[in-house]
Structure 1
Amino acid sequence: MDVPPAWNRITISALEGVVLIVGATDTGKSTFARYLYRRLYEHHERVAFVDGDVGQATLGPPTTLTLALGEPGDDAFPPAGVRYRMFVGATSPYRHMLPLVVGAQRLVEKARAEGATAIVYDTTGLVDPAHGGGELKMALVNLLRPSAVVGIQRRSELEYLLLPLRRSRRTRVIDLRAAPAAQRRDMSTRREYRAAQFRRYFQDARPLRLPHNRFAVFPSPQFAFRRLLALEDQEGFALALGIVTGGDLGAGWVTVLTPLPSLEGVDAVHLGDLALSPQTFTKPEEGV
């Protein structure tokens, strides 16, 4: 990888705890996050990576936040250690910000409990303040208390957020320009990437009979054909995702397409706000 000189000028030894990576879509944000993850192993025994982009996820299926823990002393990416997921249930943080920030906090807490002393958090590309991008990023700053916020800008699109943070002592701001090699992707390319991520996730999925009246169902048992859901453990982490493919609601069961082999360990069913074709893994309105 051709590393921009500005990346090499960052004092990596000064970074610890949560490092929040902020930038609009297609600015090289995720590429920098991966670079930083590997560099942090020069100064930390165990580093964690949180993929916080529910729409263009890299370490898990869209609609989820994924924590990947590196093994002690192993800077390989993707991290080889255990993974934990929180289900947001949508491919955009817009109108889903509360479950996103709750999931972020839960994953960071888990990373610390597992012994990670540095945590790279790659945020979603939503930065437009008119759509809540600023409020979301400030909520993450206030909740996660990052030691540093890395702001990656093409021009000055993040100044509304970074300027007050530079004047505050609550965190350190590291300013970077968008990577020259970063290429803009149109909406159709981004949709196809999401579908490919879902296809990869569900490639070994099988139908599983789910007697939903035996489990807690959040927010309510409104099952519908093609609805995406998560099967969660007692801590609220997603064991697996599933797509409703049939069933008999009156009899208290549905069939879900899922990579989970059995219901062992399942404590609750969490219904998302997304309908997904089990054949094409696209939203119905996007065609097949």
Structure 2
Amino acid sequence: MKARLVQDGIFTLVEDITQTAYPPQHGFYWIDAEPEDLDILQPLFHLHELAVEDMLTEEEQRPKIELYDTHYFIVVNSIRFDDEEIFLRALNIFLGKHYIITITRQKINEIRAVKPVLWEEKVTSPDQFLYHLMDLIVDNYTIVGDRIDAKIEKLEEDILMHTKKSHLNEIIGLRGEILWLRKVLVPQKEVLFTLHKKELRLISEPLKKYFGDIYENAVKISETFDTLRDLMGNLREAYQSSLASRANDIMRIFTALTTIFMPLTFITGIYGMNFEYIPGLHSHYGGIATVVFMVIVGVSMFILFRKKDWL
């Protein structure tokens, strides 16, 4: 657990955690903690027992905002995409008048990325901190959406160039993750809508407009994932069409080869019959002439099929 005094974006480490229970003369306290630290933080800030219980008992929480008398409890999901799988990590936030507490079970990139933003913007209040943190989280959804879109385009190219059975597993897996993300984005949008529209005494009135901008971005991202879901449906149809086209090409080749060998088989069948008088049977050049004739027939049919684009 780390406690910092934030004044105009400048961080000062706080050694005595009990000091954070009282408002500073200027700025606010940011406490970056883990769930195990709640034994100290709950009595110090009088955190609501229901919020603490939810955090300790539920590893995966639905995005939400709960309003209490002295503080708000907010749960949002950070997103990460490593080209193979999408990960969502819950970020628990307690927002007070003079403090903000961020609690995570795993490291979240946005926590590290928000530090230079706070310094650049000279942040002096916890609601401003919350705004910049939420902005980074939503921006990451945009980045992940772009990367998924790029992956879909590459997958489409691979399918058109050379269809493999593994492509179907990729399509099904990626579509499932997109549907999962759409499901997560719905409650996350509700959290942002509450911060934008509802009368909240811990959120300054001018800052609500900025939360509205984040909410609009979240709506656009949700629409983007709707589009990606439709693209996955089109991709599956392209996969099936490619398989059908490939099967037709194979059947066409086999049919042409079978057709070419039909007259050759007919010729060998005639000369394989047990008759004594067959033209050229006893000729010294009969065998050679027959083979040459069969080659001419086969090559002629091949040229004919190529000319008609059957091969």
TM-score strictly above 0.5 = no
TM-score by structure 2 length? 0.26
More helix by share: 2
Higher relative contact order (CA 8 A, sep 6+): 1
TM-score by structure 1 length? 0.27
More strand by share: 1
